[in-house]
Chains A and B, each alone.
Chain A
Amino acid sequence: MLLAGGQGSRLGVLTSKVAKPAVAFGGKYRIIDFPLSNCINSGIDTVGVLTQYQPLRLNTHIGIGIPWDLDRSFGGVSILPPYEKSGSSEWYTGTANAIYQNLDYMETFHPDYVLILSGDHIYKMDYEVMLEYHKANHADVTIAAMPVPMEEASRFGIVVADEDGQITEFQEKPPQPKSNLASMGIYIFNWSVLKESLIMLKAVHGCDFGKHIIPYCHGKGNKLFAYEYNGYWKDVGTLSSYWEANMELIDIIPEFNLYEEFWKIYTNSDTLPPQYISSESVIEKSIISNGCEIYGEVRNCVIGAGVIIGKGSVVRDSIIMQDVTIGDGCVIDKAIIAESTQIGCRCTLGIGSEAPNKLKPSIYSFGLVTIGENSRIPDGIQIGKNTAISGVTVKEDYPNGLLESGETLIKAGEHA
């Protein structure tokens, strides 16, 4: 059961129209491709994707699951939005509440085990190995946990386990962590245990796995085990971690390797034509997707499909998503530009000081320029750092042709 209903509000304008799992990553992928590909590579052929916030992009992307071999006559992928019932109807109020509202869906398959995943993490994991571990320990619940540096442990939900892996205690963001194993939000439940605890706690508003279900099971004496995961795992929930995770892909030997044959990441890609690099281009340490036409300089970037970068433009340290056009003579530094945006000619993005964003300092404060999808920036505009822009903007929106660092420009009808 893949939880993909969250907004990911800390991604600002990137998620104003799409759910976080539908945000592009690594050029041609979307965040949800990673857990979905993990499922099919692990041999899981029945996946329910729970959507809620702005699911349109997700629905179109997943379709009937063809790219992940999840178009099956029995099972396969099903999109599960909240729906009206004859008794009570409510939106999904929490992770466990969402799963509870889909008990009927799960029941049709009479599963022995249910794997709960979230759709907004970047990692590769063979869930079958975790299931073997769960079975070998005769566990009721297995929680995947990964070791984090002890100094950081207080930011996470910590599980404390004995030498056999059995969990003895939970600590939610503890000031004094007793272990450095952070819960990854990936659970395997025995079906009966999951059903019982969901029904028992159905009245809890905002019922959440980490806060309610797991402590309930633990308190009841269920056998809980911690499955230690040591690979690359990134929660790309903030603009800074999102940007960093993308940039890590362009290292010479990236820690997260998209190029290995053995564990492929599949996506619903419709852009076939290869990319064209002109004689005036300079490409350095970047990844570029299909269909691009590059006439300028690209350094340290992640470029999505169908992007056109004009002559004389320089794009550095940026993430440019699908179908963006950047005009001639631009200079772009540390920007995240979302899909189908058009940047005019001779624009400069990412200049000036790193003054924190005035409207939402916690979201836009990593020195980035964030531009939402389908936006338009006219010719000759200068944009500072820690800015957010969304919508079709015109010259008149920029006093002196400049958007100062820390400013936000959201056109009517859009949201920050």
Chain B
Amino acid sequence: MRAVGLILAGGNSHRMRELTRKRAVAAMPLAGSYRAIDFVLSNMSNSHVQKVAVLTQYNARSLNEHLNSSKWWNFGRKQGGLYVFTPTITMDNGYWYRGTADAIFQNLDFLRKCHEPYVIIASGDAVYKMDYNKILEYHIAKKSDITVVCKELDSFEEASRFGTIKMNDSMRIEKFEEKPMVATSNIISTGIYVIRRRLLIDLIEHCAEEGRHNFVTDILIRYKNLKKIYGYKIKDYWSNISTVEAYYQTNMDFLKPEVRNYFFKELPEIYSKVSDLPPAKYNPGAVVKNSIVASGSIINGTVENSILFKKTFVGNNCVIKNSIILNDVYLGDNTYIENCIVESRDTIRANTRHVGENGIKVVVERNERYAL
């Protein structure tokens, strides 16, 4: 085991609107049966990274619960393991995580006690498949201090959501702008970094001494010319779900056979916590077209171009179009849902109509549900 994994899953994203009221972005349900963090965890495990620490903070309850056992992702317990670090009060420190670097600083003991020479830092809210060993090999070959995995986007506008990068011919990063007002490059940082453990500890300690708390602005950008920071470009599917639109689009991408084949049919697999639900049931009246349906669902109505997460109940004569219905939703008879994301555990009464007129509507409806 050459690397230990560090997953930053503590942040909030206001552009997720009502969806983050219930859970951290890394715990967002994805592709019917998964949660966002399953992708990075599976990548870590499939890259033979046996020890992973997940730093959680914002709305951590459901994320912590999801991560209750290392065995779902095949992390060991004796050699390695899955650690979940939510901020805790100690003699020296009563702060919440004040930034990405501060989050690592407050857990520096964990890193000091590790023996692995390298650290792979990733975020918990991106959907992709990656063998981190390839990046590690590249990092070692380039004699790089920090390697940043980056991706070329289709447009400059999209790039302004992220950290944009300009590299020279030998892939050394020369310019790094975090969420620029006007993007001058369409190459973005995916938030995946490879760094030598001892160097990381050094840099984080320096950061803390200076009262600085952000990994990107206070380490990557500040040390851009002092340390050798290289970019590693990826071409495969990569998506980040920190806005409602990006979340919607990423889910809908799974309706495409290429995306499904890439993630589900090609090895290695994506793992998640098993939920013991019965198969999906299609009753008379069910008309399902171009949709993804997860287990435990019972369908009596029409579902088109949509994603039904686990345990969805679709009542008689319902019409669901171009929508995402999250876990455990009850849709009463005759409801009409178009262009929406329906929050998990909602109960939608009969004859309700929700249409996302200008963009995607997030539906949160908590009504009384009678046990069936």
A residues touching B (Cβ–Cβ < 8 Å)?
26-28, 67, 250, 252, 258-259, 261, 264-267, 269, 272-291, 293, 298, 303
- Note all chain B residues with C-beta closer than 8 A to A276: 255, 257, 260, 291-293
With A274-B31, A284-B282, A285-B284: A67-B276 Cβ-Cβ less than 8 Å? yes
Q: Tell me the chain B residues, 252-276 only, with Cβ under 8 Å from chain A.
A: 255, 257, 260, 263-264, 269-272, 274, 276
A-B pairs, 8 with minimum CB distance: A274-B32, A273-B264, A258-B278, A27-B279, A279-B290, A289-B279, A274-B294, A283-B282
Distance, CA A261 to CA B304, complexed state (A): 28
Q: B283 touches which one: A274, A277, A280, A285 (CB < 8 A)? A: A285
A293 to B264, CA, bound (A): 11
Listed in ascending order, the chain B residues whose CB lies under 8 Å from chain A are 31-34, 255, 257, 260, 263-264, 269-272, 274, 276, 278-284, 286-296, 298, 304, 307, 371
Q: Which residue of B lies closest to A301 (CB)?
A: B282
The minimal Cβ–Cβ distance linking A34 to chain B, given in whole angstroms, is 13
A273 and B282: CB pair below 8 A? no
In contact, B264 and A26 (Cβ under 8 angstroms): no
On chain A, the residues within 8 Å of B281 by CB distance are 250, 259, 286-287
The answer to whether A274 and B292 touch across the interface, beta carbons within 8 angstroms, is: yes
How many angstroms from the CA of A109 to the CA of B143 in the assembled complex? 61
B31 touches which of A261, A273, A278, A281 (Cβ 8 Å): A273
- Contacting pair A281 B255 (CB below 8 A): no
Q: A28-B278, A286-B281 are in contact. List 15 more A-B contacts (CB 8 A).
A: A252-B284, A258-B278, A258-B279, A261-B371, A264-B276, A272-B271, A273-B33, A273-B264, A274-B294, A275-B280, A275-B292, A278-B289, A289-B295, A290-B295, A298-B282
CA distance A284 to B284 in the complex (A): 6
- Return 9 A-B CB contacts under 8 Å, by A number: A252-B283, A258-B278, A259-B296, A267-B276, A273-B260, A276-B260, A286-B281, A287-B281, A291-B264
- In the assembled complex, the Cα of A298 lies from the Cα of B288 at a distance in Å of 11
Question: Could you tell me the distance in whole angstroms from the C-beta of A162 to the nearest C-beta in chain B?
Answer: 39
C-alpha spacing A289/B271, complex, angstroms: 17
Check A284/B279 contact, CB under 8 A, given A274-B293, A291-B264. Answer: no
Partner of A272, one of B260, B270, B278, B290: B270
Which one of B287, B294, B295 has the greatest number of beta carbons of chain A within 10 Å? B295
Closest residue of B by beta carbon distance from A289 = B279
In the complex, A76 Cα to B264 Cα: how many Å? 33
Asked if residues B34 and A272 are in contact (CB atoms below 8 Å), the reply is yes
Give which listed residue, B33, B264, B269, B290, contacts A278 with CB less than 8 A.
B290
The minimal Cβ–Cβ distance linking A255 to chain B, given in whole angstroms, is 14
A284 to B281: give the CA distance in the assembly, Å. 9
Q: Are B32 and A265 closer than 8 Å at their CB atoms? A: no
CB of A283 within 8 A of CB of B286, answer: yes
Q: How far is A280 from B34 in the complex, measured between Cα atoms in Å? A: 26
Whole-angstrom CA separation of A290 from B264 in the bound complex: 11
Q: How far is the CA of A265 from the CA of B32 in the complex (A)?
A: 21
Chain B residues closer than 8 Å to A303, beta-carbon distance: 279
Asked whether, in the complex, the Cβ of B282 is within 8 Å of the Cβ of A288, the reply is: yes
- Bound-complex Cα distance A279 to B33 (A): 21
What is the minimal beta-carbon distance from B308 to any residue of chain A, in angstroms?
Answer: 8
Q: Which residue on chain A has the smallest CB distance to residue B72?
A: A272
Contact between A275 and B282 (Cβ–Cβ < 8 Å)? no
CB pair B282 A286 closer than 8 Å: yes
Residues on the B chain within 8 Å of A269, using CB: 274, 276
Is B33 in contact with A272, judged by CB distance below 8 angstroms?
Answer: yes
Q: Is the CB of A287 within 8 A of B293?
A: no
Docked complex Cα distance between A325 and B72 (Å): 28
A389 to B368, CA, bound (A): 52
Q: Which residues of B contact A288 (CB under 8 A)?
A: 279-280, 282, 293
Nearest neighbor of A28 in chain B, beta-carbon distance: B279
Question: Are B278 and A277 interface neighbours, CB within 8 A?
Answer: no
Verify B295–A274 contact, CB threshold 8 A. Answer: yes
Q: Which residues on A sit within 8 Å (CB–CB) of B278?
A: 26-28, 258-259, 265, 287
Residues from chain A with Cβ under 8 Å of B296 in the complex: 259
B279 surroundings in chain A (CB, below 8 A): 26-28, 258, 287-290, 303
List residues of chain A with CB within 8 A of the CB of B304. 279
Contacts of A280 in B (CB 8 A): 289
